Structures are given as C-alpha cells and as structure tokens.
Amino acid sequence: MLHLNTDPLTPPRKPCARDMSELLQHYLPEWLTKFLPMPELERRAQELAHTHPRFVEELPVALGMERQRRHRLSGGMQVVHRQEQVA
C-alpha cells in the first residue's frame, strides 16, 4: 500500500547563534575556511548539510561571510600617484 504524506512542511528556521558558534569552532574553523579554495569549501558545506542537518541554516551565512572576506581582500595593494598642483 502506498502512503501519501500530506503533513505540512515545516517552515525554514532562522540561523541560531549557538549552532553558528559550534559550526565555526568544530566543523569550519578559521584556519580551514581561510586556506581552502572556495569550491572545496562549498563541497565541505554540502557534506556538512547532509551529515549534520541542524547546520543547514547556518552554512549559507558562514559561506557568505567567507565570500565577503575574500572579495574585500582580493583587490591587493594599489599604488596611487597624486599629481602635485603647481601654484
């Protein structure tokens, strides 16, 4: 006999500070997120979402913070020449 699940879907939860703290301390520590290439970090996040579903809400936030950090630091050093005004 086939059973049709008609239970309503649970609404998505909001990220939790406690879970975010545990995620960043134990599963995605700073040394790992800074040095892994972004595709590998995204693969690790997918793996964590499957093995630890309670972090599903926090993983996009953590990846977004790392993307933002990398974008902010990707400009490198630039030398700006100021033209002196002759009076």
Reported pTM: 0.70
Domain tally, the chain: 1
User: Is 10 inside any structural domain?
Assistant: no
CB atoms inside a 10 Å sphere around CB 9? 6
User: Is 46 inside any structural domain?
Assistant: yes
User: Is 55 inside any structural domain?
Assistant: yes
pLDDT given at position 3: 74
Query: Which residue reads 């993983």 in tokens?
Result: 59
Q: Domain range spanning residue 31?
A: 17-73
User: Is 3 inside any structural domain?
Assistant: no
> Distance between CA atoms of 13 and 80, rounded to whole angstroms?
47
User: Is 12 inside any structural domain?
Assistant: no
User: Is 42 inside any structural domain?
Assistant: yes
> Using one digit for the tens of pLDDT, what is the confidence trace for 24-52?
999 999 999 999 999 999 999 999 999 99
User: Is 11 inside any structural domain?
Assistant: no
pLDDT category at 2 given cuts 50, 70, 90 is confident
CB 14 within 8 A of CB 54: no
User: Is 66 inside any structural domain?
Assistant: yes
